[in-house]
Amino acid sequence: MVLVPASAATIEEAGRLIRGGALVAFPTETVYGLGGDATSDTSVAAIFATKGRPSFNPLIVHVPDLAAAENIGALSHDARVLASVFWPGPLTLVVKRKPGCRIAELATAGLETIALRVPDHAVAQAMLRAAGCPVAAPSANRSGHVSPTLAQHVEDDLGSRVALILDGGATVHGLESTVVDASGPKLILLRPGAVTADQIATTLGVAIASAPAASGAPMSPGQLASHYAPNARLRLNATAANEGEALLAFGPAAPSSGFIINLSPSGKLDEAAANLFAALRAFDAAGSSDVAVMPIPETGLGVAINDRLRRAAAPRAA
């Protein structure tokens, strides 16, 4: 069996496998990651091959704490402040690679910058310490598919193509980490997530600019318009489902007939975020070709949810 419950023994085994060059899927507080030794060219190449990921899209390198991050990246003052407030947690900081750092060039797609994250999840933390090396880990889904929020999603997408899947239950946030480019003089929000722009602005005392909408050459390849795509076509900001459409609902005022998945009947954004990707997979599993999506408020975590919904609804790249 590739999918095993996370325990002291299976986490140790995961660390051994990663050190030996194999790939392990593991839970974090955001989504499941597909981890490999970030210092090994062959491990990193295997991550791209396993996901079917275009190799220009750089990976996030996961470490257990700020001290380990400082060995790899040159953190600016602002980056260090954000790290001290939000790590461990759902924030990825893009900083300059430290000269001589041992991270494989392929992991950073040849860029001079590196994306660093310290996850806030007991299994991820224990696995990183067991591996003893920085772990490159994209979300553990086939490239272009929605991110996995359950170990079973990983099994469905990647199955026996990974050495081990550590099952740590459903992820708490359900959306990928907030990505902030802190490598230049001005911070830029590359991907919204559970750490919001408002929280960052409050922490630093200055507003943070969002990267321009996905068009042309993306600053962060995760900004590719159709990056998070289910099979079903999504129609956003719908008040009700039309003939032949399923409904992705939000809040107490949702209609109650037809095939409906309500992200949060009580209208809670954190609950909706945690349920979003499983819901998109459920529509695909049910064979829904068209899904009407009720509006989600564009506040707090709603910004990140709407970002993923817009990508999921965007026209597909060929």
Residues contributing to the site for ligand TXA (CB under 6 A):
28, 30-31, 33, 57-60, 92, 94, 108, 111, 113-115, 117, 137-139, 176-177, 179, 190-191, 220-222
Residue 151 tokens read as: 């170990």
How near is the Cβ of 236 to Mg ion at its closest, in Å?
A: 21
Tell me which residue has its CB nearest to Mg ion.
Answer: 139
**28 binding Mg ion? (CB under 5 A):** no
User: Given the complex with Mg ion, which of 11 and 38 has the nearer CB atom?
Assistant: 38
Q: Which does 190 bind (CB under 5 to 8 A by kind): ligand TXA, Mg ion, none?
A: ligand TXA
**171 binding Mg ion? (CB under 5 A):** no
**125 binding Mg ion? (CB under 5 A):** no
User: Given the complex with Mg ion, which of 108 and 262 has the nearer CB atom?
Assistant: 108
**177 binding Mg ion? (CB under 5 A):** no
Q: Which does 28 bind (CB under 5 to 8 A by kind): Mg ion, ligand TXA, none?
A: ligand TXA
**139 binding Mg ion? (CB under 5 A):** yes
User: Given the complex with ligand TXA, which of 36 and 302 has the nearer CB atom?
Assistant: 36
How near is the Cβ of 211 to ligand TXA at its closest, in Å?
A: 9
User: Given the complex with ligand TXA, which of 90 and 302 has the nearer CB atom?
Assistant: 90
Could you tell me which stretch among 104-112, 132-140, 208-216, 261-269 binds Mg ion (CB under 5 A)? 132-140
Q: Which residues bind Mg ion (CB under 5 A)?
A: 139
